[in-house]
Amino acid sequence: MPVTEFGKKLTATPTPIPGLVVWDLPVHGDTRGWFKENWQREKMTAAGLPDFGPVQNNISFNDAAGTTRGIHAEPWDKWVSVATGRIFGAWVDLREGPTFGTVFTTELDPSKAIFVPRGVGNSYQTLEPDTAYTYLVNDHWSPTAEYTFLNLADETAAIDWPIPLDTVEISPKDLAHPRLADVTPMAPRKTLVLGANGQLGRALHALWGDQPHIEYATRTDLDLTRPDLPTARRWRDYDTIVNAAAHTAVDTAETPHGRTDAWAVNVTAVAALARIATAHGITLVHISSDYVYDGTSDRPYTETDPVNPLGVYGQTKAAGDAIVTTVPRHYILRTSWVIGDGHNFVRTMASLAQRGINPRVVDDQTGRLTFTPTLAAAITHLLTTRPAVGIYHTTSGGPAMTWFDVARTIFELSGADPSRVMPTSTRDYDARETRQIAPRPPHAILGCEKLAATGFTADPIPASQWLALSNSDRP
């Protein structure tokens, strides 16, 4: 009978199945027995194990050698090991994708463990009597969860079981599982886009389309201020939440009622999302704003510059950002002067040009336009490459401009005389307004070098495309 190997170093060995990793565990023993740390979060995550957040520990005790169980793929991750005895383990990738059907087998004794990602079919055969098979999982069993199964004797997988299947005990359920050709692959965890009818939400819909695992929600579909938000979805089924929803009525936020609404949507609801994302291991993508800065810098702002918002909207965005940074998996895209399919400055100027109205536009606020296809592409890049979590400044490329420069460009593109646009200072503009006007950061140029270092560079958007991009990027 094999003896557990003592003195191994904690070591990870990848397998042909993406995410399925075999681990050697340090086991310390003598003639009296042995001891091991079967799960040690700090050491194992430092060595590269995903911080998968187990919530339950199960043990399956098997009296006889040859007990065979599986092949089961569940919608959660597993950390599998053996407390006593020895098993032959077989794993089959049952997830959608190019590695569907890939098989990996190995033996496990108490000195080995394996991390099994969601959707990978798990099975084993005991090689010794009195084998205790243990596994940690990061979700509780649910009758509504999605499961996928494969027959132990599937000819395509062709698992070389050490003890022939016709001589061992297998449950009737396991005997009835389908062959690989009839298996429905497990879909990836879902992505939820909030604020689906907003400018960014529409751009994401145009880029990502109607894939089955992507959901688009408006406030009517999912009100983030509702008290039952934590139970409004089976959140463990989600991998990513893109929070493209926000209270963006900057001037209205300065009014008593608007201030309440801005804090409710931009802070209280964000706190609820942060709790959900943290509890369920979800990546939270959050959109921030140049309004968190006071605009007094004589250089482009970097992600490490201190925030100092001038108005209520900026204060709520800064507060929301601080909350999101507490989520273990998060990306905050801080952007400026967003233009997309919806109400925006470019569309407003084009309308004024067509209607013969000659506007006065401020010429002392400087920034850079961000077109929503750029923002959507940056989100896709971060979720695909998964660089370090944190804040990433994100704008479209090109030189900084004033709103006056932008307005004149739009008039020219609209076939109107750009000289009809008259310059004015922010102070004079605000003085003529009868409604409440929020303070704007006068210098709102964001440095995007950190995002560029991850491999994403936003090219300048030619002015000839501005009008089209401000009117429709719907799929």
Domains of the chain and any CATH numbers: 11-182 (2.60.120.10), 190-471 (3.40.50.720)
Sequence-distant (≥ 6) Cβ neighbours of residue 441 within 8 angstroms: 290, 291, 293, 294, 295, 296, 310, 314, 365
d(CA 230, CA 471): 35
Encode pLDDT of 283-311 as tens digits. 999 999 999 999 999 999 999 999 999 99
Closest CA to 390 of 315, 329, 456, 444: 329
Question: What pTM did the predictor assign?
Answer: 0.87
Instruction: Assess whether 257 carries a catalytic annotation.
Output: no
d(CA 63, CA 457): 60
Supply the pLDDT for residue 177: 96
CB hemisphere CA count around 395 (13 angstroms): 22
In sign, the C-alpha dihedral spanning 351, 356, 359, 363 is positive
Supply the pLDDT for residue 2: 53
Show the CA angle centred on residue 308, arms to residues 400 and 318, nearest 5°. 90
Instruction: Assess whether 135 carries a catalytic annotation.
Output: yes
Strands 27-30 and 87-93: unpaired
Closest CA to 214 of 456, 376, 328: 376
Listed as ranges, residues in the chain with pLDDT below 70 are 1-3, 472-475
Catalytic residue among 124, 133, 135, 313: 135
107 with 89: CB under 8 angstroms? yes
Catalytic residue among 72, 177, 205, 280: 72
